[in-house]
Amino acid sequence: MKVAALVKQVVDVDQIKADREGNLQLDNLPFKISNYDKNAVEAAVQLKEKNPGTEVIAVATGPNIRDGVKEVLAMGCDRAVVLNSKEFAGSDNLATSRVLAKMIQKAGGVDLVICGEGSLDSYTGLMGPRLAERLGAWPISSFTIKVEYANNALKATSNLGGVLETLEMPLPAIVTVSEEINQPRLPPLIQILQAGKKPVQELKLADLGLGPNDVGAAGSGNQVVSNRAPKMARKNVRLKGSPEEAAAQLAQALRKEGVI
């Protein structure tokens, strides 16, 4: 079985700051592998450990992705297929799914695609369904919290707002995983060193049969107009009286706001 784990390198959102007008400061921020994608990689590697002969392929996009992909190779991916193209910048999920579908096909003979339920930056949650359609209406399980493979069939359990749904699907298939599915591993030093020796196939748009009009703003259906932090105003409520009276006022105010 060949499993493709989708990996995206995103801006480290924890480092984002906003000015007084709410404009986000996005210049010169560090990048990292999206947290949800690490869950996807961990799920893929766990399947490999339970099913000997399984190959895990990291399919990755993003700036300087060759350096970033070393982390998931150290986690247990066997090889990587990557795309780092300037023309790709500004692609929405429509254009990205077009590229990823081609990359998955280029990886060769993929039976299962595992990706995060969303990306850490835009979090549209649309990549899994879009890929399922582009790859030929593959069956899909979304918001998956458990995935198993046995007897040439995939069993996936999803948490749908408090209701657990278990699907049994033939391969090829797609699974999008939520963060509660696992705790991504921290690879030991020996695996980090070995990651640099694993094969990484670098692709260009032309290798996928695509051109500049298929990606970026030209190939996208949506464009980001602005990124702004929401305005937050303090209520400036002052409590008066003795400590006991102030505590009672505080409890009443918190109940009114629905906090408790």
246 lies in some domain: no
226 lies in some domain: no
Indicate the burial class of 76 (C-beta count within 10 angstroms; 0-12, 13-18, 19 or more).
Answer: buried
Question: For position 120, what pLDDT does the model report?
Answer: 74
Q: What ranges in the chain are assigned the alpha helix state H?
A: 35-50, 65-68, 70-75, 93-107, 127-134, 189-195, 243-256
Which is nearest to 25 in space by CA: 227, 230, 224?
227
186 lies in some domain: yes
Q: Give residue 132's domain range.
A: 2-214
* Contact by Cβ (8 Å): 134, 93: no
Write out the chain's pLDDT in tens, 260 residues: 999 999 988 877 777 787 777 777 777 777 889 899 999 999 999 999 999 999 999 999 887 788 889 999 999 999 999 998 888 888 888 999 999 999 999 999 999 999 999 887 777 889 999 999 999 999 999 999 999 998 888 999 999 888 999 999 999 999 999 999 999 999 999 999 999 999 999 999 999 999 999 998 889 988 878 777 777 777 777 888 888 888 888 888 888 888 88
pTM value is: 0.84
The CA distance from 100 to 20, in Å, is: 38
Please spell the DSSP secondary structure of 196-208, one letter per residue: TTS-EEEE-GGGG
The CA distance from 117 to 141, in Å, is: 10
221 lies in some domain: no
Residue 180: CATH number of its domain: 3.40.50.620
